[in-house]
Amino acid sequence: MSKITRADVANLARLARIEMTEDELDHLSSELSVILDAVARVQEVAGKDVPPTSHPLPMTNVFREDENRPSLTPDEALSGAPAKEEQRFKVPKILGEE
């Protein structure tokens, strides 16, 4: 049985820049454990003859030629931005990192 601790959730929240209350941390650690358990059951089904995979189809080398395709216009690109300035996405200041 997988166990996600409260500290795990707090750490993930920090990495994801999500502020969480104490209640939420408690709540989520048990909820995420349940989800992980469900996913872990897949491992019971997969026998030793099934290699780990990162893709549902056993394919390799799906490439495209190095050719240009039309881009979005800046207006289209920025249409979903909560804030913009000088044709750029405007974001809050980023603290303590560079």
Partner 1 sequence: MSLTYEKLIDKYEPVLGLEVHVELGTKSKMFCGCSTVFGAEPNTQTCPVCLGLPGALPVVNAKAIEYTIAIGLALNCSIAPFSRFARKNYFYPDMPKNFQTSQYDEPICFGGYLDVKVDTDEGVKEFRIEIERVHMEEDTGKSLHMGGATGRIHGADYSLLDYNRAGIPLVEIVTKPVAGTGKYAPEVARAYVSELRDILRSLGVSDVKMEQGSLRCDANVSLRLIGAEKLGTRSETKNVNSLRSVERAVRSEMLRHAALLEKGERVIQETRHFHEDTGDTTPGRSKEQAEDYRYFPEPDLVPVAPAKDWIEKIRATLPEKPSARRTRLQESWQVPDKEMAAMINADVLDQVEQTVNLGADPTRARSWWLGEIARIANERELPASSLPITPNDVAEVVALIGKGELTDKLARQVVEGVINGEGRPREIIEKRGIKVVSDDSALMAAIVNSIKAQPEVAEKVRGGHIPAAGALIGAVMKETKGQADAAKVRELLLKHLGQA
Q: Which of 19, 43, 50, 68 lies at the binding interface for partner 1 (CB under 8 A)?
A: 68
Whole-number Å distance between alpha carbons of 20 and 4: 16
Q: For residue 16, is it left (φ>0), alpha (ψ between -120 and 50) or beta?
A: alpha
The count of other CB atoms within 10 Å of the CB of residue 8 is: 15
17 interacts with partner 1 by CB under 8 A? yes
Single out the segment in contact with partner 1 by CB under 8 A; choices: 1-9, 26-34, 39-47, 76-84: 76-84
Q: Residue numbers of the site for partner 1 (CB under 8 A)?
A: 11, 15-17, 54-55, 57, 59-74, 77-78, 80, 85-94, 96-98
